[in-house]
Chains A and B, each alone.
Chain A
Amino acid sequence: MSEHAEVVKPPVTSIGVVGWLRQNLFNTPLNSLLTLATLYFLWTVLPPFVRWAFLDASWFTPSQVCRDGAGACWSVITQNIRFILFGFYPYDQQWRPMTAVVLLLGLLFYSRDRKNWSKWLGYAWVVGLASMGVLMAGGVPGLPAVESTKWGGLPLTLLLSVFGLTAAYPLGVILALGRQSKMPAVKVLCVVYIEMIRGVPLISLLFMGSIIFPLFLPEGITINKILRAQVAIILFTAAYIAEVVRGGLQAIPRGQYEAAESLGLNYYLTMRLVILPQALKIVIPPTVSILISAFKDTSLVVIIALYDVLKTSQTVLSNPEWMGFSREVYIFLAILYFLGCFSMSHYSRKLEMELSTDNH
């Protein structure tokens, strides 16, 4: 007697598309309701948006055509793209900031993968940063000098955030360690610094740097406006990073410190080999949220009249020819900033997973 067990297929309602729908979207009455509500919402919002943003949109037209059209006017971006991206940088020299930005993004992209981290990558960064500086500033044969006051747009935003974040991070770690220090003077200094900076908004620091600080300088000495804003951003971000890192330091069990001591490691080695690698790993998520908000905060330099990418776009909007197309411009900016922030948080999740030593 050879009986073949009949293969019974699961009912069509629990597999495939229908099954997935039932399981994920319609598994309870409340979820069904929410699903329907969401669908209705998308139905009312998406088609008009698509029509506005794509079908009826003008892409490369003069402003008058835009005003007569019904759709989005992306021409405000395309017709002014060079001013939005590069600000006052001399028009015929704008390939230079372009190259610098591409170089920077390329280096950042290549450095994402920890497998590529080597001595050579370090050198590549040094060479890359130096050539970016030369490209932007010029002053060598073949590249006429361009003062930093003419830098603007995207390179300025990237400059403020990349340098701001890379300089603020080590400073923040040092401040956190200083705050844990057993030396009273160091500890008090760090506490006072952190609390003072955290006690004021970034805007007031920027105002201090751009308006009050120059009045204290001796006559005839002026410090570059970009540098003043950059320093304010670094000082501000560092104080926040310091507090996050302190949280990580406190999460390390006492035993780890004692174990390091009993191995005969001095303070520097204890921190470098035992404590910081663990502490910094713990605080990746909050650090990244600080870095992301610092990246967005760089746009506050608008209020001290630095032409970052937000200010250049707003300037385009105050031209009567393009006045009133603020929606398109701000959508464009939102996409730019989203790309920056999303890649940061995406990278941090990847880093967290790679560094995870848990076995489950």
Chain B
Amino acid sequence: MKRIRIFVVLLAVLALALPANAGTLDEVKARGYLIAGVNGSVFGFSMPDEKGVWKGLDVDTARAIAAAVFGDANKIKFVPLTAVQRLPALQSKEIDVLCRNTTQTLTRETTNGLNFVHVNFYDGQGFMVPKKLGVKSAKELDGATVCVLPGTTTELNAADFFRKNNMQWKPVVIEQAAELNKAFFAGRCDVLTSDVSQLAGHRAVAPDPNEYVILPEVISKEPLAPVVRHGDDQWYDIVNWTVMALIQAEEFGITSQNVDEMLKSNDPEIQRFLGVTPGMGAALGLDEKWAYNIIKQVGNYGEIFERNVGPNTPLAMERGLNALWTQGGLMYAAPFR
């Protein structure tokens, strides 16, 4: 009897010790740092460098959220996650936000109880071929042997594409990305198919990168976006508008270099954006300087893109779909007012 009573008391203590169900923003602020789930092994998106410092487009997006919340982009912890772990880690509140090249889909937003914010990278499956084949379009690939990773949607997408266009293909299925690379460069297959962002990485390690071209056709839509849990709208707004702020800053021409001069701008839109005219920060529950801090410490979307995946990096990616809407891309931020 006594034991049972002790047990009940213990349970009660445990129940009291649990924190009340506060909003994510309050939890993050109380903790003092943001916890972001990342991939950890995709160069240009999220990967540690040789000193163990996280680098990449997804990493910088997450740092921008930390800058918005704390005014300090370094108040952040990265949790590397595998493809299987990523959604449960978010659901079980192990992380606050997932910035791990995750494609927005209907079932993930509904049955998995997650919300995707504004897309931070438009990816899609493409084809890479040696220049000497003289192929200009994926429609000319009839009868080609295609190197592909097994068990991913990549293989299925490729099969669909060839069937839809009444073309024959011979898949060469190889399990390891590095081996896949070698097989392609050794000429065991004519075509390599994968997400365009990955193809760029593959091309970067070719014996002669200029010998290979990525064909213009993109055969699948892979909008990659940061993810938060269902049911915390304030936190959703913060993450969503952080991504929008990155894009909007590029549109305004505000960079980490000139953001201090921009504070003196006469443009009312920029004044609202940088918190010179207060209101936006308060609406989000953040400091009025939130956007200023993001741009000052992390840079705008264009800077992030150039730094991690742009033409001067080994990935040498063009902006393409990820250019601003004013330059023919899809990056479009809603008005800050």
Judge whether A98 is part of the interface by a CB distance below 8 angstroms. no
Give Cα distance in the complex from A82 to B51, angstroms. 7
How big is the A interface, by class?
35 or more
Number of A-B contacts (CB under 8 A): 100
Among residues of B, the one whose C-beta sits closest to the C-beta of A90 is B52
Secondary structure of the B contact surface, majority rule: loop
**Which residues of chain A from 201 to 220 have any CB-CB distance to chain B below 8 Å in the complex?**
207, 210-212, 214-215, 217-220
Contact of A83 among B18, B42, B50, B181 (CB under 8 A): B50
Given known contacts A149-B79, A305-B80, A307-B80, is B43 in contact with A320 (CB within 8 Å)? Answer: yes
CB distance from B205 to the nearest CB of A (A): 4
Residues from chain B with Cβ under 8 Å of A219 in the complex = 18-19, 21, 93
Decide: B51 and A317 in contact? CB cutoff 8 A. no
Decide: B94 and A83 in contact? CB cutoff 8 A. no
Residues from chain A with Cβ under 8 Å of B168 in the complex = none
Contact of B182 among A86, A215, A218, A324 (CB under 8 A): A324
Decide: A324 and B205 in contact? CB cutoff 8 A. yes
Judge whether A222 is part of the interface by a CB distance below 8 angstroms. yes
Decide: A320 and B315 in contact? CB cutoff 8 A. yes
Judge whether B47 is part of the interface by a CB distance below 8 angstroms. yes
Contact of B47 among A212, A214, A318 (CB under 8 A): A318
Judge whether B257 is part of the interface by a CB distance below 8 angstroms. no
Contact of A220 among B18, B77, B81 (CB under 8 A): B18
Judge whether A339 is part of the interface by a CB distance below 8 angstroms. no
Residues from chain A with Cβ under 8 Å of B315 in the complex = 320
Judge whether B48 is part of the interface by a CB distance below 8 angstroms. yes
Per-residue contact bits, chain B 3-32, to A (CB 8 Å; 1 contact, 0 not): 000000000001000110100000100000
Judge whether B226 is part of the interface by a CB distance below 8 angstroms. no
Contact of A320 among B19, B85, B91, B201 (CB under 8 A): B201
Decide: A149 and B82 in contact? CB cutoff 8 A. no
Give Cα distance in the complex from A324 to B51, angstroms. 20
Give Cα distance in the complex from A320 to B51, angstroms. 16
18 contacts across the A-B interface (CB closer than 8 A): A83-B51, A89-B52, A91-B51, A91-B52, A91-B53, A152-B52, A211-B88, A215-B92, A218-B18, A221-B18, A304-B85, A307-B40, A314-B41, A315-B47, A318-B41, A318-B42, A320-B315, A323-B201
**A interface list, Cβ under 8 A from B:** 67, 79-80, 82-83, 86-91, 147, 149-150, 152, 207, 210-212, 214-215, 217-222, 225, 303-305, 307, 314-321, 323-324, 326
